[in-house]
């Protein structure tokens, strides 16, 4: 059987959770024998990241997220299959014209979109094609929480629902997200869960947490997180937790890695709480390994997480116990009492902050407990959350969809 021809489409500026899910998935699909390609709509850091991994990637320029001039070029590429990508990949990533063949033997088997910037134009274009590939879309988050304007969020939610008729499968990156969409009327028979997976290197993952400091004065206890600084991450709650921890652990440090629109406000908030010597805003970092190695406890305070955060998986793989709110997908990775602690958000805010601080303190005070939970988390990642597993589950979903149509052409 020949390799499946698969095209993933995403906004080029998407460098958040969708990117950290997608790039390991594409590499896994290639290792599984797929002819997998990436198309970025608009410029941004994603194409460069993909190209750095050796993935076949091309970019169609867009002046805005709703630039209609991309549609003719997108139509030619979707109709033409991989040959239409050949002149684009490996060349300067931004192109203005496409040449493609419409021979049946070269069409896409599967087109797979991520995010509204890709979903809407691809769905619109595929409706105009006589021979249509299987169409998948992955939902990475709650659309109603993705936009600063609630009105705009509701418009996009409505557009997403209105254009679902041509979508064969809707992949959710957590069971929590699948249940959420089903409750909003998405067709349950087309919803399936495929969680993000971590790429394993060398011997895989850590066994038992960061090593203790050898020689020299002991370092202060540290908790931390890696997150985009946006409202849904509820980092105000994490600052409250840091304030509570400082009462019992005066030297505790909170490291926050990431950037986003809330950065300035959060820094001001930390200062107002008198946490200048406790909280370090480290900005966005390309390599987070040294930060994870410097932590004792990883923490998540999100109101909702659509999927299993790749940063959480990396923390678990490094042998860190995780303290998290019951925030969607994260709570599907962390096993309460075994690999960390999961705190329900049903409590009032003060009680929630106190519960998170109490659990973090119990870990800071007990190195053996940290090591035991960290080792259990590392084993759990290796057993259930690898990129190979994500790719295999996605590939099986492609094959089932194509089998329903009589197989790839």
> What pLDDT, in 10s, does the model give residues 96-116?
333 333 445 579 999 999 998
Most confident of 9-13, 39-43, 222-226: 222-226
Residue 87 banded pLDDT, cuts 50, 70, 90 = low
Rounded CA-CA distance 60/122 in Å is 13
pLDDT at 356 over 70: yes
Of the pLDDT bands very low, low, confident and very high (cuts 50, 70, 90), residue 120 is: very high
CA distance linking residue 319 with residue 288, whole number of Å: 14
d(CA 157, CA 175): 19
CATH fold of 5-197+386-404, please? Rossmann fold (3.40.50)
Distance CA 27, CA 23 (A): 6
C-alpha to C-alpha distance for 133 and 102, rounded to whole angstroms: 13
CA 161 – CA 170 distance, rounded (Å):
12
Domains 5-197+386-404 and 222-384 share a fold: yes
What are the tokens at 321? 């116990």
Predicted confidence band of residue 275 (pLDDT cuts 50, 70, 90): very high
Q: Tokens for 327?
A: 């925030």
Taking domain 222-384, whether its CATH number is 3.40.50.2000 is answered by yes
- Residue pLDDT, tens place only, 291-313: 999 999 999 999 988 888 889 99
pLDDT at 365 > cutoff 80:
yes
pLDDT at 89: 53
All structural domains of the chain with their residue ranges: 5-197+386-404, 222-384
Query: Residue 383, class by beta-carbon neighbours within 10 Å (0-12 exposed, 13-18 middle, 19+ buried)?
Result: exposed
Contact 170, 191 (CB under 8 A): yes
- Rounded to an integer, what distance in angstroms lies between the CA atom of residue 382 and that of residue 199? 10
Long-range contacts of 184-187 (CB under 8 A, 24+ apart): 184/157, 185/161, 186/161
This prediction's pTM: 0.86
């Amino acid at each position: 059987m020949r390799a499946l021809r698969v095209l993933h489409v995403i906004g080029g500026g998407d460098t958040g959770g969708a990117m950290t899910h997608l790039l390991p998935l594409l590499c896994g699909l290639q290792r599984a024998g797929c002819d997998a390609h990436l198309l970025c709509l608009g410029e941004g850091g994603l194409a460069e990241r993909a190209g750095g991994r050796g993935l076949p990637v091309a970019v169609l320029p867009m002046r805005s997220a709703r630039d209609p001039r991309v549609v003719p070029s997108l139509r030619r590429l979707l109709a033409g299959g991989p040959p239409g990508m050949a002149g684009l990949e490996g060349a300067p990533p931004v192109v203005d014209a496409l040449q493609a063949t419409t021979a049946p033997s070269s069409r896409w088997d599967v087109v797979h979109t991520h995010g509204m910037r890709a979903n809407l134009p691809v769905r619109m274009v595929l409706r105009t094609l006589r021979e249509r590939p299987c169409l998948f879309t992955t939902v990475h988050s709650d659309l109603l929480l993705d936009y600063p304007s609630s009105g705009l969020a509701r418009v996009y939610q409505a557009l997403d629902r209105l254009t679902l008729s041509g979508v064969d499968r809707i992949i959710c990156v957590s069971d929590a997200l699948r249940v959420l969409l089903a409750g909003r009327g998405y067709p349950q028979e087309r919803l399936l869960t495929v969680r993000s997976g971590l790429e394993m290197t060398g011997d895989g993952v850590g066994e038992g947490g960061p090593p203790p400091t050898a020689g020299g004065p002991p370092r202060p206890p540290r908790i931390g997180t890696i997150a985009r600084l946006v409202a849904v991450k509820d980092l105000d709650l994490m600052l409250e937790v840091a304030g509570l921890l400082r009462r019992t652990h005066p030297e505790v440090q909170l490291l926050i890695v990431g950037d986003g629109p809330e950065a300035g406000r959060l820094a001001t908030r930390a200062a107002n709480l008198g946490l200048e010597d406790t909280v370090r805003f480290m900005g966005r970092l390309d390599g987070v390994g040294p930060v994870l190695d410097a932590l004792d406890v990883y923490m998540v305070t999100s109101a909702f997480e659509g999927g299993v955060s790749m940063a959480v998986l990396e923390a678990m793989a490094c042998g860190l116990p995780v303290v998290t709110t019951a925030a969607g997908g994260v709570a599907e990775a962390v096993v309460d009492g075994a690999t960390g602690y999961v705190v329900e958000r049903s409590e009032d805010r003060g009680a929630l902050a106190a519960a998170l601080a109490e659990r973090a303190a119990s870990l800071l005070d007990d190195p053996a407990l940290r090591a035991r939970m960290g080792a259990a988390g590392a084993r759990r990642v290796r057993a259930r959350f690898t990129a190979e597993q994500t790719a295999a589950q996605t590939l099986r979903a492609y094959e089932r969809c194509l089998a329903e149509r009589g197989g790839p052409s």
